[in-house]
């Protein structure tokens, strides 16, 4: 849990980072920002901090050479001293500018913040905040005069949607710190890794979310690749396995491999096949096998949409099978020379 109720914003800088690949400039401010009133400050902090609510954490990859410029090294310097805050914030802006090469990356304002006494998972610590605004929206402004109204348009920032953000918490330094990352503009494949990987050089931190997501991915891969019709497994049986797997994670607070094998896989030959598949999957994905972990509801919710039990019949029908597979009958019509499904139900809505 992330809580900034007690946090104090002690340093704040704004720079402009254009698209270097398109020849756009980097414009660094020489002075920190002074707020004209508390309302502006509170609105800005709500815009920056309200999206960070999940249990998904990242860390900086590996150990960067201390002589090289990087977000990790700069944050470490800031945690040590804020005397050169503006210079360090400008260094971060330059790093972001260097990574802004793809033509579809949008230029925008880049904000660097330093917070005292933020709370993350019950621990009080200082935090470096990095945020970028990429999208502007048009707002209508209505001015009332004595007996008439005037209408105008202005371009501004939608404070309910943060484009890019990262909170670097001064904790777990030896393992690459603890980071929370947001990127709502990563739908373009060519620049999807621009913020998270190219700039931050961050990767998911092994925790409940990380382990839950990886195991659910492996379960789905097993159902789709091994429990397939090419291996004489019907689509209906594949769907049944997906349903049991999804239900297991939705119902459990803690994952235990032995329980999963007993409740979901059930048959000895399926258990053995899954063990072989998971071992190969972990090697391909460079993962360490973890057989017991806390189940992350966030990971379950995010991955559930990929574990849908859908049978697609040609281009005519989709059958969603949520439970009670015994109510679905599959067969072959000799006269028509076609396969069929028969569904049994009580009520029609």
**All residues at 6 or more sequence positions from 205 whose CB lies less than 8 Å from its CB, including other chains:** 57, 58, 59, 175, 176, 178, 179
Provide the pLDDT for residue 65.
64
Percent of the chain with pLDDT over 90: 65
Beta bridge partners of 50: none
CB contact at 8 A, 110 and 96: yes
- The 10s digit of each residue's pLDDT in 25-83 is 999 999 999 898 999 999 999 999 999 988 899 999 976 666 678 999 999 999 999 99
Residue 241 CA to residue 254 CA, distance in Å, equals: 20
Is the Cβ–Cβ distance between 2 and 167 less than 8 Å? Answer: yes
Residue 295 and residue 310 in one domain: yes
The candidate with the shortest Cα–Cα distance to 165, out of 95, 102, 113, is 113
Residue-wise pLDDT for 162-198, tens only, equals 999 999 999 999 999 999 999 987 777 778 899 999 9
Does 309 score more than 60 pLDDT? no
pLDDT tens column, 100-112? 999 999 999 999 9
64 and 163 both lie in a single domain: yes
Q: Answer with the one of 205, 234, 265 that is the final residue of a domain.
A: 205
Per-state percent for the chain, helix, strand, coil, to nearest 5: 40, 30, 35
Domain count, the chain: 2
C-alpha 17/C-alpha 94 separation (Å) is 8
pLDDT of residue 343: 80
**Shared domain check, 313 and 177:** no
The answer to whether 75 and 128 have CB atoms below 8 angstroms apart is yes
Give me the pLDDT at residue 74, please. Answer: 96
Confidence of residue 307 (pLDDT cuts 50, 70, 90): low
Q: Which of 205, 232, 251 is the last residue of a domain?
A: 205
Residues 31 and 111 in one domain: yes
Same domain as 95, residue 201: yes
Would you give the DSSP letter of residue 107? Answer: P
> Which of residues 171, 205, 239 is at a domain's end?
205
Q: Tokens standing for 128?
A: 């470096």
- What per-residue confidence (pLDDT) applies to 252? 94
pTM (predicted TM-score): 0.80
| pLDDT tens digits along 237-248 | 777 788 888 889
Residue whose tokens read 């209408």: 151
Examine the domain organization and report whether 194 and 214 are in the same domain.
no
- Structural domain range at position 258: 209-343
Verify that 222 and 130 share a domain, yes or no: no
348 inside domain: no
Residues 17 and 135 grouped into a single domain: yes
pLDDT for position 146: 84
pLDDT at 118: 94
pLDDT at 10: 95
Task: Judge whether 313 and 319 are in contact, CB under 8 Å.
Answer: yes
> How many other β-carbons are positioned within 10 Å of the β-carbon of residue 340?
11
Q: Verify that 37 and 152 share a domain, yes or no.
A: yes
Beta strands in 121-159 (DSSP E): 123-132, 137-144, 149-156
Confidence band for 346, pLDDT divided at 50, 70 and 90: confident
Residue 306: pLDDT over 80: no
Check pLDDT > 60 for residue 218.
yes
349 within some domain: no
Same structural domain for residues 42 and 175?
Answer: yes
pLDDT in tens, 114-165: 999 999 999 999 999 999 999 989 999 999 988 899 999 988 898 889 999 9
Question: Looking at the predicted structure, is the pLDDT value of residue 322 above 90?
Answer: no
pLDDT at position 54 is 82
Assess whether 244 and 169 both reside in one domain.
no
- CB neighbours (10 Å) of residue 43? 13
Rounded to whole angstroms, how far apart are CA atoms 294 and 211?
8
């Amino acid at each position: 849990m992330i809580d900034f109720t007690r946090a104090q914003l002690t340093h704040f800088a704004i720079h402009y980072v254009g698209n270097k690949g398109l020849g756009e400039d980097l414009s660094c401010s020489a002075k920190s920002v002074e707020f004209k009133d508390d309302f502006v400050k509170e609105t800005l902090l709500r815009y920056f901090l309200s999206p960070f609510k999940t249990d998904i954490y990242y860390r900086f990859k590996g150990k960067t050479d201390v002589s090289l410029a990087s977000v990790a090294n700069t944050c470490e310097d800031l945690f040590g001293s804020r005397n050169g805050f503006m210079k360090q914030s400008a260094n971060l802006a330059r790093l972001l500018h260097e990574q802004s090469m793809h033509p579809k990356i949008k230029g925008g304002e880049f904000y660097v913040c330093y917070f005292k006494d933020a709370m993350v998972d019950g621990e009080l610590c200082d935090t470096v905040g990095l945020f970028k605004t990429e999208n502007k929206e048009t707002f209508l402004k209505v001015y009332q005069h004595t007996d008439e109204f005037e209408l105008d348009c202005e371009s501004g920032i939608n404070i309910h949607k943060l484009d890019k953000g990262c909170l670097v918490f001064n904790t777990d330094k030896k393992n690459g710190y603890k980071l929370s990352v947001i990127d709502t503009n990563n739908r373009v494949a060519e620049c999807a890794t621009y913020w998270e990987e190219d700039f931050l050089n961050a990767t998911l931190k092994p925790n409940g979310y990380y382990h839950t997501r990886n195991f659910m991915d492996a379960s789905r891969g097993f159902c789709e690749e091994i429990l397939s019709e090419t291996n004489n497994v019907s689509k209906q049986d594949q769907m049944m396995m997906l349903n049991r797997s999804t239900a297991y994670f939705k119902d459990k607070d803690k994952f235990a491999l032995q329980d999963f094998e007993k409740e979901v896989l059930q048959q000895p030959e399926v258990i053995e096949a899954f063990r072989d598949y998971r071992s190969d999957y972990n090697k391909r994905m460079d993962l360490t096998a973890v057989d017991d972990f806390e189940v992350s509801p966030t990971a379950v919710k995010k991955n559930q949409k990929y574990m849908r039990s859908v049978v697609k019949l040609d281009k005519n029908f989709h059958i969603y099978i949520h439970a009670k597979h015994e109510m679905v009958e599959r067969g072959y019509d000799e006269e028509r020379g076609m396969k069929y499904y028969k569904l049994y139900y009580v009520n029609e809505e």
